[in-house]
Amino acid sequence: MPELPELEVVRDVLQHRVIGTTIDAVQLLPPGAPIVVRDLTNLGLSDALTGVTIANVVRRGKFLIFTLNPSSGDSFYLVINPKLSGRLQLAQVGEKRMAKTHIVFSLANGSELRYIDQKVMGQVYLERDPAEILDVKQMGPEPFDISLADFRARLQKFRGEIKGILTRGDFVAGIGNAYADEILWAAKIHPYRKKTQLTPEEIERLYRAMQSTLRQAIDHIQAQIGESIHLEQRDFMAVHMKTGEPCPRCGTPISLVGANQRITNFCRTCQPGGLIKGM
């Protein structure tokens, strides 16, 4: 699932490649509206987007928001929530399409922006006000926009295990299962520790680890994928999906716990304090 670092890299590439470009045509595959499209304007995705200019692309949490300026009338927005397997691809006209390509935006600069979704779980919204999408309205602050003092204060409002809190979009936006594992490893905190068990020093470590882990991930991804924004590149991760491999810090085999259909990886030596049984 794309999380903050992947989507931040995508946003950065799109800022350079598509801002100011006109959409010449929109093709839905198969013909007709694919299941991923949510047209909340009732304008029709293809009719509404043909001839509009892409004015801006921003990321909010795990959403990408395109500001679209038609030649006349008010701006509207294309909001993409890729969820588990949604990806965007920049391609040249005539370049072979990947399987499960659902939307092709033909751009006036001669390239195509394609939406691909192997599991057809993502959502592409056409909306006059992105704040009307419920998940956007309920999001917490961005991890890079919150101070340590605010982080501490917000944490007081939540209960439960710390990994579950980190992945709640109403706590901070953009962190999912994978980067929660990485942040907690960097902070040396067990993922199943209760929030109430954390010391002030551990909370500060967690905050610092959140900042550094996400920033380092952005740098790794940018260096490895360039403009191939459809690629997933996570081989740099320390623990997530590294079950049985040696911990980069101490050498202990990385543990796996599966709960609520979610994989959690951590180091039992570096992250003590849990009684959960696993590999």
Average pLDDT over residues 242-262: 90
- Res. 278: pLDDT tops 70: no
Average pLDDT over residues 143-165: 96
For position 277, what pLDDT does the model report?
45
For position 259, what pLDDT does the model report?
64
Is 242 a catalytic site residue? no
User: pLDDT tens across 106-117, in order?
Assistant: 999 999 999 999
119, 246, 262, 272: the catalytic one is 262
Most confident of 36-45, 137-146, 179-188: 179-188
62, 163, 193, 242: the catalytic one is 62
Amino acid of residue 235: D
pTM for the whole structure: 0.93
Domain range list for the chain = 4-137, 143-266
Is 2 a catalytic site residue? yes
Of residues 120 and 134, the one with the higher pLDDT is 120
Least trusted range by pLDDT, from 7-11, 146-150, 233-237, 270-274: 270-274
For position 235, what pLDDT does the model report?
92
User: pLDDT tens across 34-74, in order?
Assistant: 688 999 988 888 999 999 999 999 999 999 999 999 877 77
Question: What architecture (CATH level 2) is domain 143-266?
Answer: Orthogonal Bundle (1.10)
For position 274, what pLDDT does the model report?
64
3, 6, 161, 182: the catalytic one is 3
Selecting from 3.40.640.10, 3.90.1150.10, 3.20.190.10, 3.90.550.10, what CATH number does the domain 4-137 have? 3.20.190.10
Is 262 a catalytic site residue? yes
- Res. 10: pLDDT tops 60: yes
| Radius of gyration for the chain, computed over Cα atoms and rounded to the nearest angstrom | 20
